Structure 1
Amino acid sequence: MIFIESKRKKMQGLVQKYPEAIILDFTSSGIDEYKQFSPFYPHGDIPVPFCDAFAKSVEGIWQGLKVFEDQDIDTTKFMIEDMKNIKRSVRKNGRVCGHRKGVYGTELLDYQEARKKIYLKTYAWVLDHKLQTLLGKLTQLALQKDLVFLDYETNIEIENLEKPLSHAGLVKRYLEKKTPAITLKKSIPNLLF
């Protein structure tokens, strides 16, 4: 089985809750290869949806295409490699109006549509094209032991717009769809990809 837990929880408590599991940090502040699952990780050459542009990270695309009441898109976010200063805030830029459908598009996508057509599409591309080796390693581990993926966000429901989506939860869904034997529960319907 694969479990999603908050990185903010104490490691001692997680070890007690999952004594036989392998605990892996999927955040950008992780210290091993699994931080490559972070949307901030600069894989490079990631296609920006709805245009002929490329970016270093998923988060760079998500933040770069965000349109605020006082600020349009910011394509400089596409090229950030050090995983710092990618986020754009309402405090600095005003209310979020939506996400632009491509760099030169005129249409603004609402949060739900942007999550599906920009974030999920881009993250799925990274899983399919940049992380297959690590996904294979995770599959082998998950077939032997329980895994706990640490993330700052724990929302795994794509339709739940009240909280940011857990990228670790997306990896869990991807693995369970590709290898149903990982989970002892029935397959999760309507998986990410």
Structure 2
Amino acid sequence: MPVHVASRRRKPESVRAAYPEATIVDVTSRGPEPWVRLSPFYPHGGIPVPLSAGAVSASVEGIWQALKVFEQADVDPSKLAVTSMTGLKRTVRRFGPVRGHRAGLLGEALLGYQEARQQIYLPAYRWMLEHRAQELVERLREMAGGDLVLLDYTTNGDLADTSSPLSHAALIARYIAGRWPG
């Protein structure tokens, strides 16, 4: 059975009507325990920062935000230490347009959005799935024997589609199916 991804913003009745036999699991930062642990915002701790030997982060989102470079601000290593699921975002409103993501904390190169997804986000999120959320992934694999719907705020599972953020629920679905991108 395929694992479906649906928007958490949809009314629950709408999701239930579209997938009447499915088990529905909210994997967002507002989801219930234990599923919230699959959110990239969840502070597992000890997540290696790609392209940054020896550096670790509390969360995957901490890595993504720490390496983001703006017109008026470079990397922000303090984001790696954030252990709450708030206070992570760095915005264009505050720092100006995004120029890219630094290829590591001390890297010289700036990566474009799609390249940063491949070299930063995907390795960090996969490491988290394999080293901090193995038990949850196995439970989802078992549930995927039937109809399974993962809720996320975004549903974009296409790495090449940079018009909207990448859905971590879509990455979970691909991981469970053995179809990790890249």
Calculate the TM-score normalised by the size of structure 2: 0.96
C-alpha distance in 2 between matches for 1:139 and 1:2 = 9
C-alpha distance in 2 between matches for 1:135 and 1:106 = 35
Query: Is 1:166 aligned to residue 155 of structure 2?
Result: no
Amino acid at match of 2:88: I
Instruction: Please point out which of 87, 92, 108 is paired with 2:110.
Output: 108
Match of 2:149 in 1: 148
Amino acid at match of 2:76: D
Unpaired segments ≥5 residues, structure 2 = none
Shift in Å, 1:32? 2.2
CA RMSD, 1 decimal: 1.0
C-alpha distance in 2 between matches for 1:8 and 1:102 = 34
Shift in Å, 1:11? 0.4
Amino acid at match of 1:192: P
TM alignment of 1:1-150, pairs within 5 A: 1-51=2-52, 52-143=54-145, 145-150=146-151
Q: Percent identity, aligned pairs only? A: 47
Amino acid at match of 1:55: S
The alignment partner of 1:81 has SS state of coil
C-alpha distance in 1 between matches for 2:161 and 2:69 = 21
Amino acid at match of 2:162: L
Calculate the TM-score normalised by the size of structure 1: 0.90
Amino acid at match of 1:81: T
Amino acid at match of 1:158: L
Unpaired segments ≥5 residues, structure 1 = 178-187
C-alpha distance in 2 between matches for 1:137 and 1:83 = 24
Cα distance per residue 1:165-185 (max 9 Å; x no partner): 0000000000011xxxxxxxx
